[in-house]
């Protein structure tokens, strides 16, 4: 590896945006099809790859094979250097192992080279270059060069991980002092840090799964997934960033707010892409149109109609108040329902007034 690579490696430990460039250089040096940097902590894996295209490969790899033997064997070897797939699996074993037989080999992959590094705080880091099968394994001379790089990687990874932990912890603690359940999420929706107030909502309201944080309410989770995807692809134009969750038992209705974080969404360590904040709906208070607009990213006309509906006004009368036709009002109401993830007018009223929400289903009244 050249001197410039080492310089960029240490720079990336401080400046998050540089990690993808470092991975691209590593990919080029190893003649790989893609490169990925993974951190494994508390049984969860997070990553950043060398390109959005390779992100799809990595994400599918972990979603379909979360406990795959490939990663387990690499970590289990505890080898102070780089290892190739052919060093930890025989050809016969690859033919039987699902991650190879059903995923990597059909894609022409499965001949990578990787190293694992365990930090003093217990996190495990994996740097991996995936090569196309036709390229064959890297040779012994390349392994020696990579092994010479490993001490630099260890120092950069540990430094970057500690900086990330402190930033994420500070953000969630600040929100906790305001009485707000909150989490910092990475670009896939996995928690980087979570304060105790939000942790107390697990697993009733949300579940911390391998792929991402999920909501137990299915309609709300569909909106949540769409919001994460929108924020990840076009932060400035994400359509839905506030997600309502129906009341359950004695728990009041909740609204989840997603706020994108600029500049750090493409890094594994300072990997925060979104701040998630949860607020309860205060019982009995009628929100103004401006509050409704802010809660659910509605247009002014949509917010005005929603506020009138929340006040118990029928769409026909709301249309007259707003000076539009009843047809226009009902079309606007359908857009409001789509943005809030609800299906019935009574559910919208219940959410905005803090009353108990009925079961999902049906059409707007």
pLDDT tens digits, 201-259: 999 999 998 889 999 988 788 888 888 887 766 544 444 477 877 767 777 778 787 87
Bond prior to 239 in cis (omega within 30° of 0):
no
And the tokens for 114? Answer: 């990787």
**Separation CA 223–CA 342 (nearest Å):** 10
Bond prior to 220 in cis (omega within 30° of 0):
no
pLDDT tens digits, 305-315: 988 888 889 99
**How would residue 363 be classed by pLDDT, with cut points 50, 70 and 90?**
very low
Q: Is 238 helix (H, G, I), strand (E, B) or coil?
A: coil
% of the chain residues with pLDDT over 70:
76
pLDDT of residue 282: 55
And the tokens for 97? Answer: 């192992």
What is the rounded average pLDDT of the residues 18-44?
85
Bridge partners (DSSP) listed for residue 137 = none
Neighbours of 321 (CB within 10 A): 12
And the tokens for 37? Answer: 């940097």
pLDDT of residue 269: 45
pLDDT of residue 68: 83
pLDDT of residue 339: 77
Neighbours of 147 (CB within 10 A): 14
Q: Cβ distance 286 to 206 under 8 Å?
A: no
pLDDT greater than 50 at residue 43: yes
Strands (E), the chain: 34-41, 44-49, 83-84, 113-118, 124-130, 182-185, 191-194, 206-208, 213-215, 242-245, 254-260, 274-280
Neighbours of 167 (CB within 10 A): 17
And the tokens for 243? Answer: 């997600």
**CATH no., domain 3-164:** 3.30.450.80
Bridge partners (DSSP) listed for residue 47 = 38
What is the rounded average pLDDT of the residues 88-105?
94
**How would residue 264 be classed by pLDDT, with cut points 50, 70 and 90?**
very low
pLDDT tens digits, 3-30: 778 888 877 776 667 788 889 999 988 8
pLDDT of residue 140: 92
What is the rounded average pLDDT of the residues 118-126?
73
Q: Which of 236, 240, 294, 241 is nearest to 265 (CA)?
A: 236
**CATH no., domain 166-353:** 1.10.10.10
**Separation CA 319–CA 64 (nearest Å):** 50
**How would residue 165 be classed by pLDDT, with cut points 50, 70 and 90?**
low
**Separation CA 235–CA 238 (nearest Å):** 6
Bridge partners (DSSP) listed for residue 207 = 214
Q: Is 275 helix (H, G, I), strand (E, B) or coil?
A: strand
* Domain spans, the chain: 3-164, 166-353
**How would residue 362 be classed by pLDDT, with cut points 50, 70 and 90?**
very low
What is the rounded average pLDDT of the residues 168-181?
71
**Separation CA 48–CA 35 (nearest Å):** 9
And the tokens for 132? Answer: 């196309």
**Separation CA 281–CA 352 (nearest Å):** 7
Q: Name the average pLDDT for the chain.
A: 79
CA angle 20, 23, 29 (to 5 degrees): 145
Length of the chain: 365
pLDDT of residue 233: 62
**Separation CA 219–CA 245 (nearest Å):** 8
């Amino acid at each position: 590896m050249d001197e410039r690579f080492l310089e960029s490696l240490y720079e990336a430990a401080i400046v998050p945006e540089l990690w993808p460039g470092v991975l691209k250089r590593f990919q080029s040096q190893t003649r790989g099809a893609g490169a990925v940097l993974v951190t494994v902590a508390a049984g969860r894996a997070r990553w950043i790859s060398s390109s959005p295209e390779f992100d799809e490969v990595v994400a599918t790899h972990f979603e379909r094979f979360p406990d795959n033997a490939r990663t387990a064997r690499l970590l289990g070897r505890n080898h102070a250097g780089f290892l190739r797939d052919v060093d930890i699996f025989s050809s016969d074993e690859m033919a039987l192992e699902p991650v190879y037989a059903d995923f990597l080999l059909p894609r022409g992959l499965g001949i990578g080279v990787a190293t694992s590094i365990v930090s003093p705080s217990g996190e495990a880091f994996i740097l991996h270059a995936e090569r196309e099968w036709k390229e064959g394994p890297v040779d012994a001379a390349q392994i020696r060069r990579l092994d010479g790089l490993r001490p630099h990687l260890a120092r950069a990874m540990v430094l970057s991980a500690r900086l990330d932990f402190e930033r994420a912890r500070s953000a969630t603690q600040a929100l906790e002092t305001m009485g707000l359940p909150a989490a910092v999420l990475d670009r896939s929706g996995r928690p980087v840090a979570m304060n105790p107030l939000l942790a107390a909502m697990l697993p009733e309201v949300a579940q911390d799964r391998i792929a991402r944080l999920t909501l137990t309410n299915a309609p709300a989770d569909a909106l949540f997934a769409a919001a994460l995807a929108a924020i990840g692809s076009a932060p400035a134009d994400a359509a839905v960033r506030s997600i309502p969750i129906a009341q359950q038992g004695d728990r009041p209705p909740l609204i989840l707010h997603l706020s994108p974080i600029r500049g750090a969404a493409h890094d594994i360590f300072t990997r925060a892409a979104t701040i998630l904040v949860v607020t309860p709906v205060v019982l009995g208070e009628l929100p103004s149109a401006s509050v409704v607009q802010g809660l659910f990213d509605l247009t002014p006309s949509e917010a005005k109609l929603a506020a009138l509906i929340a006040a118990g006004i029928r769409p026909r009368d709301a249309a007259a108040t707003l000076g539009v036709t009843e047809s226009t009002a009902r079309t606007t109401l359908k857009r409001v329902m789509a943005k809030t993830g609800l299906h019935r007018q009574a559910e919208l009223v219940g959410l905005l007034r803090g009353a108990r929400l009925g079961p999902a289903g049906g059409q707007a009244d």
